[in-house]
Structure 1
């Protein structure tokens, strides 16, 4: 079938809850993807950082195929021989004490909300049903009813109420506002080290250190959502490392499977995670042997193939090149590692048209918040690939 036939099928039978570019992809390898008409594109979205290791990484694929021949699912009613090694390897990699595996990023967020509330009641002594969790304006943590209830994006929450109570919203990057919002009933602070969906918004230097100190001072659990920023995307294994802090709870997902399978995890210290008892939380697929085998290999190739170091080096090169482009359409270029945004002036007419033009030149990226283009290629991108991308962006932005 040709492209239009696939578009017609989606439009006729699918829910209209996405507005993708009209490119129908059929194959991927490394940083490159091909559509059904044979056109080749440089992928500069990497499935929102789920394919940090590149499309169809051969070692992860081999691990998936090998495990699929042996055992794919047991549920947590029984043990399996991949779960324990996965626990050990991810805890050693991230310097965590305990881990709770789930499937999607949103499930990890829901898990951490439950866990921190339980800690608040059982350890901190917050009165029953009074626990508060502080979040930031312009956050994105998923799309469940609870999560969209504390979103400040009207598109995310209008028409979906009533919502779960127990959340306060403060400005992102403002440590003083966080401290002012804390009460004796505050159990946790949930924050992205860099706000991805908001347009790669980087907080002021020292913000995370200040947040860490505030949470310590008030006995509040610091929760970092590293589902997009983690596993090498910002040029460090975890984005918290840029300020040399450690969260009490860290959420990872997306690249934890290299794009082969839904895998997420809540990484924790002992004090918080130990409040959960058998029967209080779980998932049929969470921690299944296929997911664990895939995740173990996905983590290993990140380190063995020096993808994190490459993200740092190529990110610096990409940022420098973007900042050299002279165009009246560009308001700001910002980023860390290979998590980069180009914000356009409102007069440019919206970022989506530029994404269409870039697709026409063989480069796929995605707009966010109307005027911002994100660039987040797989971490295996080469200098030659980046140089080629910069040529296409320069041509489109000068047009």
Structure 2
């Protein structure tokens, strides 16, 4: 068991082969639900983090998911696409209207919904002029970003971070740093340099203030030494375990990229569209990227939709096909995305998220002060992380404890993700009420109290 837990520490999410999962399923899954799970296991290729699955979802609405046995869970996971909750009426109605008008736009043609969305995204970025392309997945958009950076610079080498995640395709796992995706994948894309991830809690020098961003010294050393780096790729805020660099980190990174003519590509697939209290996460840092990649929630939780947004000066590929996807200008996805963004703007969602983020931090700080097994908490907007350790001094990860807490919370009706083996990652919908958010923290508190008092999880 301990070997499996140790292996899980390297993983992007909670593992689906642990003994604790079997215990939870034995206690909570009915024969009818188990039959569906067995059929799922029979027909889908098994893979880490996915099939075999935990449970069967029957319906989703607002901040809740409901399983086939009638249990409802507050969804603090949602694969980071449920910004305005599930089945948001305005988004659903917008898609219905678009479906009746134009459901598909063949390539070579454009459509009004796609053009309006492109304008909205490009003009929301900042002072620079931007242009965009749409795809149906974040990984596909990241692939376009990489090709565009190569074309623009004439170089192919990249710098990205260990522990990062940019998608599960061969090119995106090459720049990504998650071992569970790279393992046994064979030769990966050449020229993908990696440096240490930003992690203030585990910085070998203590903190950013003490080390003066030596990690960026190393990045600059690689760029200067290699001389032919085409792009630096970062998750603006690391979503899986919520790593939040300080402003000075991105100020200096922007300066380095500009000085060495390296394209700054920011990955905000899970973190854009209000999650951090800004429309885009980079807007917390007073910089502008050369390329931004967004996705997940862009389709309003209804339609697979992603976008790559690039500085207008990089529009140099008239003689090349960067994407050429069948659903490139999907009118249904565009209608959903427009409805999402307009609702975020018109309903004051950004201010609301910043306000709720301060409350979220206060409540999680109370847990930190109460339980020594919580080594760190991190919050930006409505992204929260609770990092569990065996000892705060050594910072040794408490992976087994994280799994136990997760399954105790599932028993209580709270669903979230475990990242890096020991981080409880909390991503509620942006429409969550103060009362609902407070109740979720109470459930976490109860789970810690029960587990640390020695109550048998069985």
CA distance, structure 1, for counterparts of residue 332 and residue 147 of structure 2: 26
Question: Among residues 252, 259, 281, which one is paired with 1:210 in the alignment?
Answer: 252
Single out whichever of 312-321 and 23-32 deviates more from structure 2. Answer: 23-32
Match of 1:133 in 2: 158
Instruction: Decide whether aligned partners of structure 1 residues 348 and 85 sit closer, same or farther in structure 2, where only a CA change above 3 A counts.
Output: closer
CA distance, structure 2, for counterparts of residue 139 and residue 104 of structure 1: 17
Contact 1:53 1:307 in 2 (8 A): no
Contact 2:166 2:175 in 1 (8 A): no
Deviation at 1:281? 3.3
1:170 paired to 2:215: no
Contact 1:329 1:348 in 2 (8 A): no
Structure 1 length normalisation: TM-score? Answer: 0.93
Match of 2:454 in 1: none
1:98 paired to 2:131: yes
Contact 2:170 2:189 in 1 (8 A): yes
Question: Among residues 30, 37, 52, which one is paired with 2:83 in the alignment?
Answer: 52
Deviation at 1:50? 0.7
CA distance, structure 2, for counterparts of residue 224 and residue 348 of structure 1: 29
Match of 2:294 in 1: 252
Residue-by-residue CA offset, 1:300-329 (whole Å, 9 max, x unaligned)? 111112222222111221121111111233
Matches within 5 A, 1:69-218: 69-95=100-126, 96-121=129-154, 126=155, 131-173=156-198, 174-182=215-223, 183-197=226-240, 199-218=241-260
Match of 2:313 in 1: 271
CA distance, structure 1, for counterparts of residue 305 and residue 152 of structure 2: 24
Match of 1:359 in 2: 410
CA distance, structure 2, for counterparts of residue 168 and residue 348 of structure 1: 29
CA distance, structure 2, for counterparts of residue 347 and residue 76 of structure 1: 51
CA distance, structure 2, for counterparts of residue 48 and residue 358 of structure 1: 18
CA distance, structure 2, for counterparts of residue 208 and residue 291 of structure 1: 31
Match of 2:385 in 1: 341
Match of 2:263 in 1: 221
CA distance, structure 1, for counterparts of residue 160 and residue 426 of structure 2: 26
CA distance, structure 2, for counterparts of residue 348 and residue 114 of structure 1: 38
CA distance, structure 1, for counterparts of residue 279 and residue 264 of structure 2: 18
Question: Among residues 6, 20, 31, which one is paired with 2:63 in the alignment?
Answer: 31
Single out whichever of 220-229 and 65-74 deviates more from structure 2. Answer: 65-74
CA distance, structure 1, for counterparts of residue 193 and residue 373 of structure 2: 36
Match of 1:8 in 2: 38
1:236 paired to 2:278: yes
CA distance, structure 2, for counterparts of residue 272 and residue 108 of structure 1: 15
CA distance, structure 2, for counterparts of residue 154 and residue 397 of structure 1: 29
Residue-by-residue CA offset, 1:330-363 (whole Å, 9 max, x unaligned)? 1111121111111111346242221111011011
Deviation at 1:157? 0.9
Q: What value does the CA root-mean-square deviation take over the aligned residues?
A: 1.7
Deviation at 1:114? 0.4
CA distance, structure 1, for counterparts of residue 426 and residue 182 of structure 2: 27
Deviation at 1:277? 3.6
Instruction: Decide whether aligned partners of structure 1 residues 279 and 201 sit closer, same or farther in structure 2, where only a CA change above 3 A counts.
Output: closer
Contact 1:149 1:161 in 2 (8 A): no
Match of 2:20 in 1: none
Deviation at 1:35? 1.6
Contact 1:76 1:288 in 2 (8 A): no
Match of 1:383 in 2: 434
SS at match of 2:275: coil
Match of 2:9 in 1: none
Structure 2 length normalisation: TM-score? Answer: 0.81
Contact 1:103 1:286 in 2 (8 A): yes
